[in-house]
Amino acid sequence: MARGVTVVAAVRAGDFAAVRELGAVPVDYAQPLVDAVGAVTARVDAVFDALGRSDLAAAVKLAGGAERVITLSDPRGPQLGVTLSNVVPSGVAAALAEVLGLLGAGALTLQPQTVLPLADAAVAHARLERGELRTKVLLEI
């Protein structure tokens, strides 16, 4: 809980321990989002969707409006008034500098990545779909 912010993360039940270890409150993403989040908090200030196939309508309801929701990749976002992240906001440089400082000081930790050759892209996708990989996948040329 950095800066007094409580993060609620919608994840599969098998990831609850990892989410707790990172300092967030897990909720089961297999459950209706409004119900799952509502069971742990009465107030949601903002929603950040990194999955790209979440229940954005529920996110808008939880956050109290589309202007408090951003998605990295869900093309349905604009239909709901949700910002589809595709531009670099003006504060990114300062935020990046702050995050790098926190990483350097050991206050943040990067999650591990799986690095595979580009030729294994299909294998990587299959492993991700089966839930075998719990990391970001980097494909090397």
- pLDDT at position 99 is 86
Classify residue 94: in a domain, yes or no: no
Over residues 43-82, the pLDDT tens digits come to 999 999 888 777 899 999 999 999 999 888 888 888 999 9
Mean pLDDT of 112-132: 92
Run of H or E residues at 27: strand 25-28
Range of the structural domain that residue 132 is part of: 111-141
Mean pLDDT value across the chain: 88
Q: Are residues 75 and 128 in the same domain?
A: no
Q: Are residues 74 and 121 in the same domain?
A: no
pTM (2 d.p.): 0.71
Banded model confidence at residue 1, pLDDT cuts 50, 70, 90: low
Half-sphere exposure in the Cβ direction for 87 (13 Å, CA): 4
Three-class SS state of 124: helix
Three-class SS state of 137: strand
Classify residue 89: in a domain, yes or no: no
Q: Are residues 75 and 120 in the same domain?
A: no
- State how many domains the chain has: 2
Q: Are residues 125 and 80 in the same domain?
A: no
Q: Are residues 12 and 58 in the same domain?
A: yes
- Residues 6+ away with beta carbon under 8 Å from 1: 7, 23
